[in-house]
Chain A
Amino acid sequence: MPTIITKTNKRYKDLDLSLTIHPVRKDVNKLSDERAIIQSIKTILLTKHYERPFNPDFGSNITKLLFEPLDPITAVSLKREIEQTLKNYEPRVILQSVIVKPDFDNNAFAVTIIFIMKSLSQPITIQFFLARDR
C-alpha cells in the first residue's frame, strides 16, 4: 500500500541572522514560521530608531527606556512601546498580550509576549529578559 508522504507547507522562510552553518548541507541555516517570526520580533525590538539607513522610523525605543528607573511605570511604558512597535512592523502576528514585570533582583525587566501567528491558531509565547548592558 503506497504511503502518502505529507509535507507541511511552510509559510515563512527566512535566513538565520546568527549565520550558523547547517551541519550536513554546509550552508547557512534557515528559519521557518514561528522561529522566523521570533527572530524578526527580536530584530525589530532591538533596533534603535535611525539605525536602519533611509528608514529612521524603523525599530523601537526600548533601549532608551532601559535607562529609566526600574519601576512599574517604566514597565507600562515598555509594554506600550513593544505593543506599538510590533503592530507597526510585524504584520504576521496578532498580539494576545504583552506582560512586562520589573525583576529587581536581576536589575532587569521580564517580558512575555503571547501572540498568534496569522496562519496558525495556537498562541505562541516568548519570554526574555531586557537588561541594560552598560
Chain B
Amino acid sequence: MASRLNVTELDFDSIKNNLKDFLTQQSEFQDYDFEGSGLNVLLDVLAYNTHYNAYYMNMVANESFMESAILRNSVVSHAKTYGYTPRSVAASHAVLDFTVITDNNTPGTLTIPRGYKFMSNLIDGKSYGFVTLENKTVTKTGNNFVFNDLPIYEGRLVSYAYTYDSTSNPNRTFTIPESNADTASLTVTVQESSSNTDSRVFTTVQEYFEATSNSEVYFTQESVDGKYQIYFGDGIIGKTIDDGNIVVVSYLITNGPAANGADAFKATAALSGHTNFDIDVVLRGSGGSERESVDSIKFNAPLQLLSQNRAVTKNDYIKLINQRYPHFDSVNVWGGEENDPPVYGRVFISAKPKLGFEITYTEKEYIKNKILKPVSVMTVVPEFVDPDYTYLKLDIELFVDVTKAAATLADIEEQVRQYTLSWAATNLNKFDSYFNYSGLESGINILSKSILSNEVETMVGKKFRPDLLQAQSYVLDYGIELARGTTDDNFYTTPDFTMIDGDGIARQCYFEEVPSSYTGIESMTITNPGFNYTSTPTLEIVGDGTGAVALANIVNGKLESVTITNPGVGYTSAIVRIVGGGGQSAEVIPVLEGRYGQLRIVYYKADSLTNQNTKFVLNSDVNNGVIGSIDYTLGKVNITLFNPTNVNNDFKDIMIFFRPKSNIMRTTGNKIFVLDSGDGSSVTVESKLK
C-alpha cells in the first residue's frame, strides 16, 4: 500500500526523510538517497521551504497568545488589550537638604528652577547629572535659604514641540524619540498656535470613565519599536486637539539603575548669583530601574485585568506598589485585623528598599496619596509600618577532607561564606519568608567534594540604638521562641558600652543572660472554665518535679482562677488533673517558671592581687543588678531604664543575639530575616580536618 506523506514534522531533517520515504514508492527517479544527486538538490529546496513555512506559522501562532509570545512588541500589544501600559525606564532619585548660604540676613525669597543641575560622585568611574523637576521657592531663614527634602532625579531634561496636523496624524499620536525616557517625568502642554501663545497643561489619565469631552488628559502606550507614544482624546473621552496646536512634550532621559547609590552631590551652577552651598544627602540615589521586562509584563498585565486597577485584596496592593514604585526589594501588606490588638479599617504596608533598610517619609506619603488612595476602598486607610529586622548570625562548622580538592582550606571556607550570603540574598531578606536551614546545609555539602559534612548554628539578633542622655526602656520583639541559656554560647551581644557604676567610675560593660533557676510552677492558664461545679475540685499537679500545690477557685459553677500556694521544684514539664467538684470539662495548663530569664549588666576588672580579670555585676546592690527580663516563649526582651553613656561602635547600635528554640523559623507581618552582608561577623566558617 502506498504510504502517505507525513505532514506533521517540523524540522528540516524529518521533512526531508518523509519526502524520501514517499519517493521509495516510484521507480522513475531512484537517486534521491545520494547526497550528490540532482533529485537531492530538489528535495533540499522543498524541505527547506517547508521547514521555513512551518517555523513561520509556528511563530505566528506563538506570538498570537500572551503566554507563548516572545517578541516584546507582541507582548506589549497583548498587554494593551488588558488595559496595561508597561513601565518605562525609571530615573534614580535622591533627596537633599540644600542650603544656600548668603552673607546677610536681608529678608527675601529664592526659587530653585526646574532643571537645576547637580553632579553626583563617581559610580563605577562615572559621574551622573541629577536635576530638579519642579520649581521650589523658600523664604530666607537667618542668613540662609534652606530647601528641605528637595527631590532630584538622574537624567537630562529634553523638550520636543510638534505642530499638530490632522491630515498627516489622524490618530493624534506623538512618539517620544528616545527609548530611555522616563514617562513618570512627562509633562505635556498644548499651545494654541504659533501666533497665540496661550497654553494648557494636559495630565496623564487616571480614570477612563472620569475623562469627559473637556478633560485635558493624554494617554500613553508603548509602540511597536519599543518607544513610548502619547495620544490625545477624541473629543468624547478626553479633550481633542485642533490643527495648528503646538504640542510640547518634556521629559527626562535617564540612565536607569546606573546612578543608584550616588551619595554625594555638588551643584553645577550659580543660583541667582549665589555660589556658596551646603548639601546634606537625605536619601542617596535609589529607585532607578530598567524598563519593564517582557516576563514582568506577562506576569503583571493579567493581574491588572483581574484587579481592575483597584486596591482591594492584599495582592492588589502589592502589585500596585511594585508596578508604580519599583524601588523595593520586597513588599508585604496585611489587614489591621491581623494585628495584636486588631486595628480595623486599616491596611498595613511594610516595604524593604533595594538600597539600605528604611524608607523616607516623602516616599511613604507619595505611595499612600498618589498610588494607593485613588484606587483603594474609601473607608480603608493605608498605613506604613517600618520593617522589623531580625538579624541572623550563622556559625558554620565544616568537616573537611582537603585531599579531595585542589582548593586550600581558606578557599573552601571563603566559598562557603559567599555561597551562604548568596543563598540568603535569594531566600531571606524579604517578607513572608522562612529560614530553611536544612536547605542551606545541603547546599553547602555539594559545594565541594572536600566538604564531608557541615553544621549550621543559628542565632537571631535584634538591634537597638539606646538614648545616651537619659535612662529609657526598650522592648525587643524577636517574634519566635528562644532557647533558654544553659551555657554561655546561647547568648551573644555586641558591642560593649560604657556605664557609670555606683562609685562614679566608668565601666566597659556587657549584657549577661541569667535564666531563671527556679523550676517550679509559675502560674496556671485556664483554657476551659468548665461548668456545673458544686464544690471546689482538687488540682493534682503531675510532672517530673515535686511539691507543687495549687487551689481552684470556683465561682458560679465555673473555674474562675487558680492560686499557687507552693511552686514546687524540679519541674521541666507538668500537667494538671482536676478531680472531684461535681462539674466537668474544666481544663488548666501549668506555666513553668523556666519560661522567663533576666538580663543584667556585667564588667570585668583586674584583681588587685593576681591581676586576673574578674567579672562583676553592675549595681548588684539594687535588685541583684537585674536590668531586664526575657520571655523565652514569646521571644520578647524588656530592658528597663537603661542608661549607657556611650556605645563603642560607629553606629551606636547594640545587638543582642539569642539562639532560637527551633531552626525552622518563619516571618509574618513586617518582620524580615536579614543576613547582613556588610557585617563580617554575620557568617563565620570554621573547619575541622579529617
Contacts and interface: CB of A to CB of B under 8 A. Distances in A.
Interface stretch (A10-18, A66-74, A101-109, A121-129): A10-18
A55 B13 CA distance: 10
23 contacts: A12-B30, A12-B31, A13-B27, A13-B28, A13-B29, A13-B30, A14-B30, A15-B38, A15-B39, A16-B38, A17-B38, A30-B29, A39-B36, A41-B36, A43-B36, A43-B37, A43-B41, A44-B35, A44-B36, A53-B44, A54-B48, A89-B35, A90-B34
A89 B31 contact: no
Interface in B7-41: 12-13, 27-31, 34-39, 41
Contacts of B42: 15
Interface in A45-61: 52-55, 58
A53 B34 contact: no
Interface string A19-52: 0000000000011000010011101100000001
Nearest to B32: A14
Interface in A71-122: 89-92
Given A14-B30, A43-B41, A53-B12, 16 more contacts: A13-B27, A13-B28, A14-B31, A14-B37, A14-B38, A15-B29, A17-B38, A17-B41, A30-B29, A40-B31, A41-B36, A44-B35, A53-B44, A54-B12, A89-B34, A90-B36
Question: Size band of the B side of the interface?
Answer: 10 to 19
Interface string B36-74: 111101101000100000000000000000000000000
B46 to A, nearest CB: 11
B447 to A, nearest CB: 41
Contacts of B41: 17, 43
Given A17-B41, A52-B44, A53-B48, A91 B34 contact: yes
A13 B38 contact: no
A76 to B, nearest CB: 24
A14 B39 contact: yes
Contacts of B12: 53-54
Contacts of A58: 35
Question: Size band of the A side of the interface?
Answer: 20 to 34
A89 B48 contact: no
Contacts of A91: 34
A13 B13 CA distance: 23
Contacts of B30: 11-14
A89 B39 CA distance: 15
B641 to A, nearest CB: 83
A90 B40 CA distance: 13
Nearest to A92: B34
Nearest to B34: A40
Nearest to A28: B38
A11 B42 CA distance: 20
Contact of A43 (B27, B28, B29, B38): B38
B48 to A, nearest CB: 5
A91 B33 CA distance: 10
Contacts of A16: 38
Interface string B213-229: 00000000000000000
Nearest to B30: A13
A31 B36 contact: no
Nearest to A10: B30
Q: Which of B29, B35, B44, B48 has the most CB of A within 10 A?
A: B35
Contacts of A31: 38
A69 B31 CA distance: 37
A92 B34 CA distance: 9
Nearest to A11: B30
Contacts of A41: 36
B685 to A, nearest CB: 50
A17 B41 CA distance: 9
A36 B44 contact: no
Contact of A40 (B13, B28, B36, B44): B36
A36 B30 CA distance: 10
Across the A-B interface, give the 10 residue pairs with the lowest CB-CB distance, nearest first.
Answer: A40-B36, A17-B38, A14-B31, A44-B36, A15-B38, A54-B12, A43-B36, A53-B48, A14-B37, A13-B30
A59 to B, nearest CB: 9
A13 B41 CA distance: 14
Q: Which of A16, A39, A41 has the most CB of B within 10 A?
A: A39
B510 to A, nearest CB: 73
A83 B129 CA distance: 68
Contacts of B31: 12-14, 36, 40
A15 B31 CA distance: 9
Contacts of B38: 14-17, 31, 39-40, 43
Contacts of A92: 34
A92 to B, nearest CB: 7
A40 B37 CA distance: 5
Q: Which of A30, A31, A40, A52 has the most CB of B within 10 A?
A: A40
A35 B35 CA distance: 16
A16 B28 CA distance: 13
A16 B44 CA distance: 16
Contacts of B35: 44, 55, 58, 89
Nearest to B45: A53
Q: Which of B38, B39, B42 has the most CB of A within 10 A?
A: B38
Contacts of A30: 28-29
Contacts of A12: 30-31
A1 to B, nearest CB: 31
Contacts of B48: 53-54
